[in-house]
Structure 1
Amino acid sequence: MFVDIPTLLFEDHHLQNCSNKVSSTNLSVKAPIGSVSKINDLKEKFTVVKTRKADQSMMMMMIQVAGAKHAYAIEASEMAAYACKLIAGNPTLGQRITVCNQRKVEEVELPEEVDILISEPMGTLLVNERMLESYIIARDRFLMPNGKMFPSIGRIHMAPFSDEYLFVEIANKALFWQQQNYYDVDLTPLYGSTFQGYFSQPVVDAFDPRLLVSPPMCHVIDFNEIKEEDLYEIDIPLKFIASVGTRVHGMACWFDVLFNGSIVQRWLTSAPGAPTTLWYQIRCVVSQPIYVMAGQEITGRLHVIAHNAQSYQHIILSARI
């Protein structure tokens, strides 16, 4: 069976506009803050790096309260102006903060290496939006040897799922193109293409973990070790053992990241059943479901290829039973 499928640490606008996500937002804040609460032990520099569309000002203030010697904030958007405004209103803390309003992290020049690098580089499926590459570039350019990264590890989790209602909902979208006399136009020649087109689009939503057909497996990305070019193309072998006999309608994916502090270790997760985050989960739905028996092995590959629009042009999911 084959199917081809065509965004911490602290975002003020999300806090104001997404009250229904308060629990997940609080977790996002607690994860890094808890990890660096003893930052005074490091006694040196501190960096906050975020390359795309987020206000780092509150995080910078928290870092300074925790005792950082200096914080450098890299901000690509106009939100840098608001960060500077907040800094100006808090001069005692603000004198140890530098805001770099640059489009690309490659264009930034810092006067020193840093002890700690913080970012919110996660997208849907962890790698979408391709912010991880900027995070890795910042690591190579600014982080001193043995420096800390928050987050330090990411994991992509995958499992087959069964959801008859979702499958029917997607299939019904193509029914319009089965009309043979739509204002004297026969639309049926395009039915096959539109049917496959609807199934080629991943579904981003939150779902019940009871829809999973087997225990998940995970692919680990160590942000301390991975190279930028390793993110251009990711190929993950898949192997599952079905827990129940049912129809498999595709592959579900989510991620988590580790904030590995010396005092506190926290995982920020987008898993089904956990408090819903702004990343939700992602499901790749196949156009031809496959039936599996309990105990049956499901194997395949998940292959993603990056493109220039800050995403991944192809998610190719293949599976065999």
Structure 2
Amino acid sequence: MLENENSESHEAKEYVGLADFVAEGDEQLSFSVGDKLKVHDMSSDVWWWAELQGHFGYVPSSFLHQTAEGEEDAWQDDEYFGNYGTLRLHLEMLSDKPRTETYRQVILSNSAALRGKVVMDLGCGTGVISLFCARLAQPATVYAVEASSMAKHTEELVRQNGCEGVVTVFQDRAENLTLPGKVDVLVSEWMGNCLLFEYMVESVLLARDRWLKEGGMMWPSSACLTVVPCQAFSDYRQKMEFWEKPYGLDFSYLQSLAQKEFLSKPTFSHHLLPEDCLSTPADVITLDMVTIQVSDLERLNGGFSFNVEKSGIFHGFTVWFSAHFQSLEEDGPSLELNTGPFSEITHWKQTLFMLDAPVTVEEGDIIVGSICLQRNPVWRRHLSITFSWNINSTEDKKVSFYMYHYLISFKSIILLVLLLF
């Protein structure tokens, strides 16, 4: 590592690693979860100059925190439920027609089988799914569970829609929930960016284990994370090529800083054009909502092997998810909510993970590698995603091994939502 000439010019602050970070080059500093680092320079918002056991280097600021153990809620519930207690996010979700219509169609296509059943709608928000159940089917009862302050408005919406005889609203977290009895169907819209973000899925699994009858139905029944190598000319031009000669001036000096600032973070709400896919997308991780356990969420791994189908510039990987809804009837139709570029656009859109530098690929090249989703051990709604891969070229040469590590944080997503509105 580089020696720090000015390490003592400012009083160092101690931070703790939130996730493993592997340095790329001598200017960066590797560290592991739980390592205590001394941060000497915080002049950049994204990269800080830090020390670990006498070694110095740049570290990503988003991988560190200064909070003493127990000082901050690891689940960030005040911030999380506070955001869902306002209409902003609910407007975004309800305005997402593919999302909302899929749930309506699931209820409608299973209306006969739902007759007399007990349904739990976990994380019900404004109660739209509960109201679909009450109005489109004839369930015995629907338990609409919402932990945020939106629950009091949901109760009024239930009354306004004449469903108070069927729908009962519970304002509580799944972990503390007490119901009159077990349920036949547990329905929830728990999916986040890159499928797992916010980890509401843990609450769903805890509710499943406690309240779902044996042989009961989970909606979604399963979910898949899908990846594709892609081109992203527009993003690369805006974030990297822009600095070459803006207004006739040479700003190329800033490109290395731009690389660290813009390419080290995922691009949320990315709209991938189908023609920018370099290969056929692949499902890399599948969750069976009946069998998956909470402990399985700590680390999920998937492999991929992409045959490049057209020559182009490999700028990065784009990720999205699909959710699948099994019918209550044996021969009934299953439905799917797909958030990918080949389906109607949703509020999730897709997530783009840019490479540090684009790579030219030729038709017939093979991109082989893996993806790892690692839950943050300190802030439980966060996750980090690591891509590892190499390229087997048609020219009988192998491109060097690559590994990229990205942290997806709760605050970065909320900031994005605020900017969109």
TM bucket (normalised to shorter chain) is 0.7 to 0.9
1:197: Cα distance to partner? Answer: 2.8
Separation (CA, whole Å) in 2 of partners of 1:84 and 1:158 = 40
Letter in 2 for 1:281: Q
Question: What residue number does 2:277 align with?
Answer: 212
Out of 152, 155, 161, the residue aligned to residue 81 of structure 1 is 152
Q: 1:38 to 1:138 in 2, by over 3 A?
A: same
Separation (CA, whole Å) in 1 of partners of 2:231 and 2:96 = 30
Question: What residue number does 1:289 align with?
Answer: 358
Question: What residue number does 1:224 align with?
Answer: 290
SS of residue paired to 2:238: helix
Is 1:124 the counterpart of 2:193 in the alignment? Answer: yes
Contact kept? 1:15, 1:25, Cα under 8 Å: no
1:123: Cα distance to partner? Answer: 0.5
Question: What residue number does 1:27 align with?
Answer: 101
Question: What residue number does 2:34 align with?
Answer: none
Out of 38, 44, 47, the residue aligned to residue 117 of structure 2 is 44
Out of 379, 387, 390, the residue aligned to residue 320 of structure 1 is 390
Q: RCO greater where, 1 or 2, for CA within 8 Å and sep 6 or more?
A: 1
CA deviation string 1:66-114 (max 9, x = no partner): 11111111101111111211333456x3133221101x21100112111
SS of residue paired to 2:240: helix
Question: What residue number does 2:265 align with?
Answer: 201
TM-score under structure 1 normalisation? 0.83
Contact kept? 1:116, 1:147, Cα under 8 Å: yes
Q: 1:277 to 1:78 in 2, by over 3 A?
A: same
CA deviation string 1:105-162 (max 9, x = no partner): 1100112111000000010111111111111111111101100011101011111001
Contact kept? 2:117, 2:185, Cα under 8 Å: no
1:290: Cα distance to partner? Answer: 1.9
SS of residue paired to 1:39: coil
SS of residue paired to 1:62: helix
Question: What residue number does 1:185 align with?
Answer: none
1:312: Cα distance to partner? Answer: 3.5
Letter in 1 for 2:280: P
Out of 166, 169, 182, the residue aligned to residue 96 of structure 1 is 166
Q: 1:159 to 1:17 in 2, by over 3 A?
A: closer
Letter in 1 for 2:231: S
SS of residue paired to 2:382: strand
Letter in 1 for 2:155: C
Contact kept? 2:303, 2:371, Cα under 8 Å: yes
1:37: Cα distance to partner? Answer: 1.5
1:18: Cα distance to partner? Answer: 7.9
Percent of aligned pairs with the same amino acid:
23
Gaps of 5+ in 1: 177-181, 183-187
Q: 1:283 to 1:17 in 2, by over 3 A?
A: closer
Where does 1:103-252 land on structure 2 (aligned, <5 Å)?
A: 104-172=173-241, 192-204=256-268, 205-218=270-283, 219-252=285-318
TM-score under structure 2 normalisation? 0.64
1:191: Cα distance to partner? Answer: 6.3
Larger-gyration structure (1/2): 2
Q: 1:156 to 1:22 in 2, by over 3 A?
A: closer
- Decide which moves more: 276-285 or 76-85: 76-85
Letter in 2 for 1:60: S
Q: 1:175 to 1:202 in 2, by over 3 A?
A: farther
Q: 1:97 to 1:55 in 2, by over 3 A?
A: same
Structure 1 outlier segments of 4+, above 4 Å: 2-7, 11-19, 172-176
Separation (CA, whole Å) in 1 of partners of 2:228 and 2:341 = 11
Q: 1:313 to 1:171 in 2, by over 3 A?
A: farther
Separation (CA, whole Å) in 2 of partners of 1:13 and 1:38 = 34
Contact kept? 1:117, 1:148, Cα under 8 Å: yes
Separation (CA, whole Å) in 1 of partners of 2:203 and 2:176 = 11
SS of residue paired to 1:195: helix
CA RMSD of the aligned region, Å?
Answer: 3.2
Question: What residue number does 1:68 align with?
Answer: 139
How many residue pairs get aligned? The number is 302
Q: 1:14 to 1:310 in 2, by over 3 A?
A: same
1:35: Cα distance to partner? Answer: 4.0
